[in-house]
Amino acid sequence: MRIPILKLHDYLLISIQTEIDDNTAIQFQEDLLDKIHQTGSTGVVIDLTSVEIIDSFIAKVLGDVVTMSDLMGAKVVLTGIQPAVAVTLIDLGVHLKDVPTALNLEQGLVKLHQELGD
């Protein structure tokens, strides 16, 4: 199973709609980095509205993806993290510091636009 990555001008859009297992998460990490490399995108929005659970492993993969993309010159914003998921992450002790977030896809794009300053 692969998570589809859409391209919109200079941005990449990903909406995670399914329950993610470890393999899917790792596969996604690779796919995204490849896509950034191919397209030269400067911004990425990962929408997590439909994700009902993020455990420490998936949180680590997501955090890593943000840092890795940053290294490749693409800014990542995570959007739509559900309240229940946020509470669980805090309880787990996963802080995802320095990871930009926004309430929804739309505001995520606005945020990217502001941060990239164009």
For another protein, the binding residues (CB under 8 A) are 19, 21-23, 52-57, 59-60, 78-96, 101-104, 107-108
Residue 7 three-state SS: strand
Compute the least distance from the CB of residue 81 to another protein, in Å: 5
Given the complex with another protein, which of 22 and 30 has the nearer CB atom? Answer: 22
Given the complex with another protein, which of 6 and 84 has the nearer CB atom? Answer: 84
Per-residue tokens: 100: 């930009």
Q: Identify whether the C-beta of residue 14 lies closer than 8 Å to the C-beta of residue 50.
A: no
Given the complex with another protein, which of 35 and 62 has the nearer CB atom? Answer: 62
Rounded Cα distance between 19 and 93, Å, is 22
Compute the least distance from the CB of residue 8 to another protein, in Å: 19
Compute the least distance from the CB of residue 40 to another protein, in Å: 26
User: 76: closest CA among 39, 36, 38, 37?
Assistant: 36
Per-residue tokens: 53: 């659970």
